[in-house]
């Protein structure tokens, strides 16, 4: 998602496949038939996943037992590689965001939220389908137009129903308006789409919505608060920071509090999936965001942050999935076990 723009980092993802029991089983099967069975090569697809949920009091979000990391654990165990399996398990046992693809959105979301509900957990969803997405960079695409986006968003909301879900709304979309990456002719429509998305999602009784606000290395609170207001932040539950980026939790928290002061003390969530060693400062600064070496996992996902303004530390970016075809990586969103192992080994 950021191409050559300094200080940015995202990747496109598709929802991982589900193998569930009870009510969610039929929907999970429908997801598999629809072709939404995960990104890239997540190890042996026939190997049985071997992960469980985190304690609900610490982290209420659902761990997908068929995510790429879980499948990689099973594949390494099948091959007798206990050392690598134990390392990847540190990723597989944490809840990560489920990025909803454009096709069959209602079935995808219903499958995820039903599986989460069956496990007595909340779903963590990431919506990334805004028209003119990513300014033509690694994760270009999105809905064909505003009408298509509203239709897709309505399908997502129907898929959530009355089940508990937290939605991270459109990483990059607001920031690309602020930094001029998105052409001026699309600005008015995008503001309208973001505000409408918040309003539609908040019609679901158990849904929280966090509008993405970039990261501490990209723009300033002074540049962001009015665009956030225009995009409907007043009706959202808060905003998200550091999605797919590497700014430290301390820096992100300080940034978030300064921004929160300007928008009615709204709370926020921080993506800590890969920020354990902070941003990468070597190599070409224009590509510091893309599969940087030596990065590490950050704080484990939790709602117990010890700060009233920080609602949660989340793994919104799925650790081990590529940022794009740079530094030897596969295309954006594909599972890359070597990078996943590097993240874990570098974690203190």
DSSP secondary structure of 157-195: HHHHTTS-EEEEE-TTHHHHHHSS-S-GGGHHHHHHHHH
Along the 348 residues of the chain, how does pLDDT read in single tens digits?
533 222 333 433 333 333 333 333 333 433 332 333 334 445 555 565 679 999 999 999 999 999 999 999 999 999 999 999 999 999 999 999 999 999 999 999 999 999 999 999 999 999 999 999 877 566 667 999 999 999 999 999 999 999 999 999 999 999 999 998 999 999 999 999 999 999 999 999 999 999 999 999 989 999 999 999 999 999 999 999 999 999 999 999 999 999 999 999 999 999 999 999 999 999 888 889 999 999 999 999 999 999 999 999 999 999 999 999 999 999 989 999 999 999 999 999
Pick from 61, 90, 98: nearest CA to 73:
90
Q: What's the Rg (C-alpha) of the chain?
A: 18
Pick from 268, 319, 276, 267: nearest CA to 299:
276
Residue 307 appears among annotated catalytic residues: no
- Dist CA 193 CA 150 (whole Å): 7
- Dist CA 142 CA 137 (whole Å): 12
Residue 121 has which token pair?
């957990």
Measured from the Cβ of residue 56, the count of other Cβ atoms closer than 10 Å reads: 13
Decide if 324 contacts 138 (C-beta within 8 A). yes
- Dist CA 103 CA 191 (whole Å): 23
- Dist CA 242 CA 315 (whole Å): 10
Angle, alpha carbons 206-208-213 (nearest 5°): 170
- Dist CA 57 CA 114 (whole Å): 20
Chain centroid offset of residue 180 CA: 23
Length of the chain: 348
Among the listed residues 39, 59, 122, 172, the single catalytic one is: 172
Residue 41 appears among annotated catalytic residues: no
Residue 212 appears among annotated catalytic residues: no
Among the listed residues 39, 59, 122, 134, the single catalytic one is: 134
Residue 89 has which token pair?
């398990």
**In sequence order, what are the residues at sequence separation of 6 or more whose Cβ sits closer than 8 angstroms to the Cβ of residue 338?**
none
- Dist CA 219 CA 213 (whole Å): 10
């Amino acid at each position: 998602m950021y191409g050559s723009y300094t200080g940015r980092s995202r990747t496109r993802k598709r929802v991982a496949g589900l193998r569930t029991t009870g009510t969610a089983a039929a929907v999970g099967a429908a997801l598999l038939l629809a072709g939404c069975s995960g990104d890239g090569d997540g190890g042996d697809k026939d190997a049985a996943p071997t992960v469980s949920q985190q304690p609900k009091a610490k982290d209420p979000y659902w761990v997908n037992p068929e995510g790429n990391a879980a499948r990689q654990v099973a594949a390494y165990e099948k091959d007798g590689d206990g050392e690598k399996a134990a390392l990847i398990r540190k990723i597989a046992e944490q809840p990560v965001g489920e990025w909803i693809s454009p096709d069959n959105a209602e079935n995808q979301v219903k499958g995820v939220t039903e599986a989460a509900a069956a496990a007595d957990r909340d779903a963590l969803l990431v919506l990334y389908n805004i028209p003119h997405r990513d300014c033509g960079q690694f994760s270009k695409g999105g809905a064909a137009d505003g009408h298509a986006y509203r239709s897709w968003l309505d399908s997502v909301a129907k898929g959530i129903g009355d089940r508990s879900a937290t939605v991270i709304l459109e990483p990059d979309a607001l920031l690309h308006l602020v930094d001029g990456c998105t052409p001026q002719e699309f600005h008015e429509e995008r503001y309208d789409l973001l505000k409408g998305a918040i309003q539609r999602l908040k019609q679901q009784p158990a849904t929280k919505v966090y509008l993405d606000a970039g990261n501490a290395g990209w723009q300033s609170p002074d540049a962001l608060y009015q665009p956030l207001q225009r995009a409907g932040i007043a009706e959202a539950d808060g905003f998200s920071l550091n999605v797919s980026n590497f700014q430290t939790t301390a820096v992100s928290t300080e940034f978030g509090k300064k921004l929160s002061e300007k928008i009615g003390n709204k709370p926020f969530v921080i993506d800590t999936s890969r920020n354990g060693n902070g941003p990468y400062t070597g190599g070409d600064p224009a590509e510091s965001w893309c599969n940087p070496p030596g990065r590490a996992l950050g704080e484990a996902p939790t709602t117990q942050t010890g700060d009233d303004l920080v609602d949660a530390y989340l793994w919104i970016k799925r650790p081990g999935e590529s940022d794009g075809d740079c530094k030897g990586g596969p295309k954006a969103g594909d599972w890359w076990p070597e990078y996943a192992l590097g993240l874990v080994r570098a974690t203190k």
